[in-house]
Amino acid sequence: MARLRLPHPLVLLVGFVLAAAALTWVVPAGQYDRQEDAATGRQVVVPGTYRTVAPAPVSLTDALVDIPKGMADAASVIFLVFLVGAAWTVVERTGVFGTLLDGLIEQLRGHDALVIPISCVVFATGGVLIQMQEELIAFAPILVLLVARLGFNRVTAVAMSIGAAVVGATFSPINPFMVGIAQKVAGLPLLSGSDFRIACLVLALGLYTWYTMRYAARHRTAAVAATGQESAAGASGWRMRAILLLVLATFALFVVGVLRWEWDFDQMSALFFAMGVAAGLIGKLGLEGTAEAYVDGFRSMAYAALIIGFARAIYVVMDQGHIVDSIVRALFAPVAELPVTLTALGMMVAHGLLHVPVPSTSGQAVLTMPLLVPLSDLLGLSRQVTVLAYQFGVGLVDLVNPTNGALLAMVAAVGVRLEEWWKFALPILLLLAALAAVALAAAVAIGLT
């Protein structure tokens, strides 16, 4: 049987852009009215206001123009990738990472498989707290070096980083960009239902970590020894400790800024830029060496940043053609005819399907929650279960979503083909979806509020 081989990610994304343009010629154009939501400060749809509007088919020329428009629309994310990636390049030039890897491998000698559960927990925590995805792309060079030194393949590097972060975000009780916004729009107290979500998170992360360790063990090869460049002396003594403290302080401030001060991508970019400059000066790179490291970091992140912009263009095309609201209405209208438990499961599936053309988790929340909350109240379905269905459907699809720019960028940065990642991710996606379905049924049964 011929082996599946997908096109290059950029070819795939351009194909999606053109397919989205083609849909604008056949899907009826329609829109809901929108108003500002006081709880979130975002524009949300007004239930019961859907109406057909004049068709706005997107031509081939317009679709091509929407690609740079998509890049402009995703500018804050793209610059985050550039600046965070470049800052990590500066830290890497100081020699701190090579020293840390040597120490970690030495400490785990004979138990090096423990790197996988440790990494899964660390990166999943990032997903739980702030839905880390784009920020992880900068870790790609370090992860590639780590798995090579331990004899694991590069798919394992993706799995124990962004894969684990996606699982953490999917089952998180606190993720502000997913459950936080959805609960606000649904009129639920923040952190409500946390005990139930934490129980699901423990089960899901345990299942995912076991699956990743099993995969890594089955595909293990000979470890690659450290090169002279990796082992070269860099920052040492107090300088190395100062750089490590700087990195930890940056991440702590990053988390606090997002959770308490509602920082967006621009503030995050500025923070990591400052970290990189400080690390370069502490690590004796000087202004010249720090600037050169930034240039090399920008160069290494260019491909990943482009992928994010191309992925965003898909939504830009569909929004320009006024078919996003029509797709939402078509996906969710049938679930109202089902029994309550099946309605919850149908919502989860519909959210997963919708997340392909609408890759923004927060954008999907403000698009769908105002429509589904009144429907849930009418059917006697708990609003908390409605939020869970959104959270599970959107989150799990991000493991394989071909329009998730962060995932495609991470896969590309690590040097893995998308079909190789899908071969790993699809089985665990099905297992986690089954767990989510059981959790939804249990939530309905106990009347989770």
Domain assignment of residue 2, yes or no: no
Domain assignment of residue 1, yes or no: no
Percent pLDDT > 90 in the chain is 42
| Average pLDDT score over residue span 82-94 | 85
> Which of 21, 32, 26, 22 has the alpha carbon at shortest distance from 325?
32
Domain assignment of residue 3, yes or no: no
| Average pLDDT score over residue span 4-22 | 87
Can you give the pLDDT at residue 232? Answer: 43
Give the pLDDT band of residue 228 (cuts 50, 70, 90). Answer: very low
**Domain span at 358:** 9-446
Whether the pLDDT of residue 32 is over 70: the answer is yes
Can you give the pLDDT at residue 229? Answer: 45
| 142 vs 324 pLDDT, higher one | 324
| Average pLDDT score over residue span 19-45 | 86
Whether the pLDDT of residue 426 is over 80: the answer is yes
pTM of the model: 0.84
Per-residue pLDDT of 261-271, as tens digits, reads 878 778 888 99
Domain assignment of residue 161, yes or no: yes
Domain assignment of residue 371, yes or no: yes
Whether the pLDDT of residue 258 is over 80: the answer is no
Domain assignment of residue 128, yes or no: yes
| Average pLDDT score over residue span 226-238 | 53
Give the pLDDT band of residue 226 (cuts 50, 70, 90). Answer: low
User: For all residues of the chain together, what is the average pLDDT?
Assistant: 87
- How many structural domains compose the chain? 1
31-40, 55-64, 314-323: least confident range: 31-40
